[in-house]
Amino acid sequence: LIVPVLASPSMAGRSPLARKVQHKEADRYHYGELRRALIDAALAIVGREGLEALSLRAVARRVGVSPTATYNHFRDKASLLGAAAEVGVRELDRQLREAAGGVRGPGERLEAIGLAYVMFAIAHPTHFRLLGAPELGDKNAQPELLGAYEAAYGVLLDAVKECQAAGVVRTGEPRTLALAAWCTVHGAAWLIVDGQVCVAGIASKPESLARDVVRALFKGLSARNERA
């Protein structure tokens, strides 16, 4: 469960000057490269020092560029964080698909996806926090980020449809069922990274909570499911 793009020190991390490309005669970034370097630096800061350490100035500092240089590539701080969050969501998406690919049965696949969602949050708590941070601002202003979320949701939705076709998930609007599943794993993930759950003695270990919650999602609470 190692995530290079999130966990590694990122190419533009340690010695930014060494990574600058010779742009004609000047010592500058190619177009688009500084943008990417800023995003990588933001992800590195979140991963190492946490979300509260993620300031626009700190990002610029890490890349070795003036704070105001960022405004050539991002409208504002929320836009920069949004771009970083988008990378995070795409990585989450990738891990969900990877988890789905490792399993044959459609029911087990759906379960694996739900588990992978919570496990991503456990493995990368600070990154996961960024994905739903208030600092991202209005989501309508970040269509790409919204699209990334939709794609990740699509993994869940497809799995639900497969399960219905195979007869392991009950009938019903697939979008509604997938949404319920998303809410459950998202809620579990958030309660875990927020520390509202394990520290209060409500749940024991994050991993077992993840398992329990996904199983309950399938089985439901109703006693009418008892002798199924």
Residues of the shown chain interacting with DNA in the complex, contacts defined by CB under 7 A? 28-29, 31, 34, 55-58, 65-69, 71-73, 76-78
Nearest to 80 by CA among 48, 57, 64: 57
Q: How far is the CB of 39 from a second copy (least distance, A)?
A: 20
Q: How far is the CB of 14 from DNA (least distance, A)?
A: 18
CB-based contacts of 45: which residues, under 8 Å, 6+ apart?
53, 54, 58, 59, 62
> Token digits for 42?
């933001």
Four-CA torsion 65, 67, 59, 152, nearest 10 degrees: -110
Nearer to DNA, 31 or 147 (CB): 31
CB-based contacts of 184: which residues, under 8 Å, 6+ apart?
114, 213, 214, 217
Residues 163-222 that bind a second copy (CB under 8 A): 163-164, 167-172, 175-177, 179-191, 194-197, 199-203, 209, 212-213, 216-222
Q: How many CA atoms within 13 Å lie on the side-chain side of 77?
A: 13
CB-based contacts of 109: which residues, under 8 Å, 6+ apart?
100, 103, 159, 162, 163
Q: How far is the CB of 69 from DNA (least distance, A)?
A: 3
Cβ distance 65 to 56 under 8 Å?
Answer: no
Residues 97-126 that bind a second copy (CB under 8 A): 110
What is the pattern of x (binds a second copy, CB under 8 A) and - over residues 14-43? ------------------------------
Q: How far is the CB of 19 from a second copy (least distance, A)?
A: 30
132 binds, among a second copy, DNA, none (CB under 5 to 8 A by kind): a second copy
Q: How far is the CB of 125 from a second copy (least distance, A)?
A: 11
77 binds, among a second copy, DNA, none (CB under 5 to 8 A by kind): DNA
Distance CA 43, CA 49 (A): 10
Q: Is the dihedral of CA 88, 89, 95, 101 positive or negative?
A: negative
Footprint on this chain of a second copy (rule: CB under 8 A): 51-52, 110, 129, 132-135, 138-140, 146, 149-150, 153, 160, 163-164, 167-172, 175-177, 179-191, 194-197, 199-203, 209, 212-213, 216-226, 228
